[in-house]
Amino acid sequence: MPWTKKTFSQNAAPCAICHEIVAKGTQGWTDASQPRGKRVRCLNCGPGDVVATENQASPRADPVAGTSALRQDKRYRGDANLKGAQGEYLMGGYLAEELSPSSRVLTDRRVPGDSEANIDHVVIAASGVWIVDSKKWSGEIRYRSPSFPSTDPKRYLTVGGVDRTSSIAKIYRLVIPVATLIDDRSVPVKPAMAFIESAWGVREGLHFRRGKGPYNHEGVLLAGGHRIIAAINEPGPLSSDRVDELWRLLDAKMPPR
């Protein structure tokens, strides 16, 4: 049985995609042949096999990357906010030029449940949903273990000689709300910290090549912006239809900041 648009005249039901309630007396989509709990979708999400119509919400126009950081700069005036805006803007340009055409980007989006925090770039690709935090930090960036003779196996991120390792864990404040919103363990949600036009220190090793990554620190990919995009463009488990479905879901639930 194909998906059919109808008015729910008797009972309300949750959307199988975004879990919003399709209220009694409002329109939605239904397909009785789907598994129980998957038979209803709201107008915004729509059935995956139906071409978008005027009844389905189209993804909104993204703001220019760095817009919210620039607003913060106007309010507080400081190098940190301006550098943040610059880094986000440059990363937005890299994504526009280098990202696979089948991928989708949401820029400068609010974190679900947090009125203050924002995500620089949410990228939906075959490889998964990527939460990209852009950094344009001053000072030499190094990712390495402590100096000899320390036996500490942990590696540390330093910028200009200052330990910034704790900044990596903070990205999970962005990742976990998005993963909760998607509510599908088959969809990889991948955090990445992209360093934009940064000065990298040498990598530990025999040949001392410049150490621009990529590195994986507790599940977070650390690298320059171009290498992050190369990782995003790798093949993965999501079909083009699923990419577009997730794009519409996240666009509806995460408005621009």
pLDDT tens column, 168-200: 999 999 999 999 999 999 999 999 999 987 777
Domain ranges of the chain: 1-58, 67-253
Instruction: Residue count of the chain, please give it.
Output: 257
Residue for token pair 């100096």:
147
Alpha-carbon distances, residue 176 vs 112, 113, 130, 181, 206 (angstroms)? 10, 11, 12, 9, 38
Token output for 101: 């055409």
How many whole angstroms separate alpha carbon 105 and alpha carbon 61?
11
Residue 65 has, within 13 A of its CA and on its CB side, a CA count of 24
Neighbours of 169 (CB within 10 A): 13
How many whole angstroms separate alpha carbon 119 and alpha carbon 143?
23
Give the chain's largest Cα–Cα span.
73
Pairing between strand 40-41 and 104-111?
Answer: unpaired
* pTM, entire model: 0.69
Q: 225 pLDDT exceeds 70?
A: yes
pLDDT band, residue 53 (cuts 50/70/90): very low
pLDDT band, residue 75 (cuts 50/70/90): low
How many whole angstroms separate alpha carbon 50 and alpha carbon 2?
9
Find the mean pLDDT for residues 85-104: 91
Q: 145 pLDDT exceeds 80?
A: no
Contact predicate 4/54, CB 8 Å: no
Amino acid in the structure at residue 122: V
Contact predicate 166/224, CB 8 Å: no
